[in-house]
Amino acid sequence: MQAQNGNLKLLIPLILLGGAALIVLVVCGATIVREFVVNKLEFNGREFEAANCHVTSVDYENQKWQECEHCYTTTTIVWENNKPIDRLNKVCVESRFPCLQIHVMYRLGADLYARYGEDYGGILRLHPWQLEGIYSQCSYNICRRYEYDNEREIRSLQTQWLNKMGEKFTCYYNPSRPWEIVAKKMATRTEAIVSMTIPSFVLIVAVMAIGFVLICKDKFNKKKIPMYNASQHAAPSRENIADTGF
């Protein structure tokens, strides 16, 4: 009975740990697989390759401001059947942000000393999906509720990039369109497979290890149970009763 209780105490954390690991695995895997699918569907499966970029200028496109729409959710309480009910309402307001352009350059076909290569340049975007749409000429499309929040955040980003002038950093370009440059690329097929394989392997190994511990503990508890000795618990014989005088 004690062995079963001990196994049950170990089994409950095992179930909780396995459930938590499974949730993390599904969420992480779905996130990366989603990026991979979006990359294939929206960008015709084009793969971005790494390069060493450096910033050449950080400015605003003719001091242009981009119109945008910021949506948020509010909660109101309504009474139905004499009971308060929370109702969610979607509210959208017009806003705008300054169109910051970060111009970068990179070199292809260069040797170790960056000689005899061909230079390419363009506007740096944060993600590939910013290459298309109404904000494609801006490096950032930050749309908050209030304009001064947008301006303050973009001014801060401008200062950060100005401090990186001349420094090399890893960027990603589209080989078929060298002027399409992003700071973060989408997940590739290999990355999507690896992102699912490694967590799955770790989860399986963890479950097997805990199961092995449970089996060993069960065998150890069985060895500790004393064997029942029938001779020690036998009823006294008639001779023994006679000797005692009863």
Q: What is the DSSP letter of 113?
A: T
Q: Are residues 141 and 194 in the same domain?
A: no
Main-chain phi, psi angles of 127, to 5 degrees: -130, 160
Q: Are residues 172 and 56 in the same domain?
A: yes
DSSP string, 221-246: HHHHSPPP-TTTTPPPPHHHHHHTT-
Q: Are residues 171 and 52 in the same domain?
A: yes
pLDDT at 42: 46
Q: Are residues 125 and 51 in the same domain?
A: yes
Q: Look at the chain and report how many structural domains it folds into.
A: 2
Which range marks the domain in which residue 1 is found?
A: 1-43+186-216
- Whether 198 is covered by a domain: the verdict is yes
The residue with greater pLDDT, 245 or 147, is: 147
Q: Are residues 53 and 1 in the same domain?
A: no
DSSP string, 176-207: TEEEEEESSPPP-HHHHHHHHHHHHHHHHHHH
- Whether 235 is covered by a domain: the verdict is no
Q: Are residues 176 and 196 in the same domain?
A: no
**177 contact partners, CB below 8 Å, separation of at least 6:** none
Q: Are residues 109 and 39 in the same domain?
A: no
208 pLDDT higher than 70? yes
**Where does the pLDDT of residue 67 fall: very low under 50, low under 70, confident under 90, or very high at 90 and above?**
very high
pLDDT at 35: 58
- Whether 83 is covered by a domain: the verdict is no
Residue with tokens 């004393």: 226
Q: Are residues 13 and 123 in the same domain?
A: no
Of 69-78, 143-152, 220-229, which has the strongest mean pLDDT? 143-152
Q: Supply 157's token pair.
A: 């980003």
**Mean pLDDT along residues 87-94:** 87
Q: Are residues 110 and 180 in the same domain?
A: yes
pLDDT at 95: 93
241 pLDDT higher than 50? no
Q: Are residues 117 and 19 in the same domain?
A: no
pLDDT at 41: 43
76 pLDDT higher than 90? no
**Mean pLDDT along residues 107-134:** 75
**90 contact partners, CB below 8 Å, separation of at least 6:** 71, 72, 73
pLDDT at 34: 60
- Whether 197 is covered by a domain: the verdict is yes
CA atoms within 13 Å, Cβ hemisphere of 176 = 5
Mean pLDDT of the residues in the chain: 75
Residue with tokens 């500790």: 224
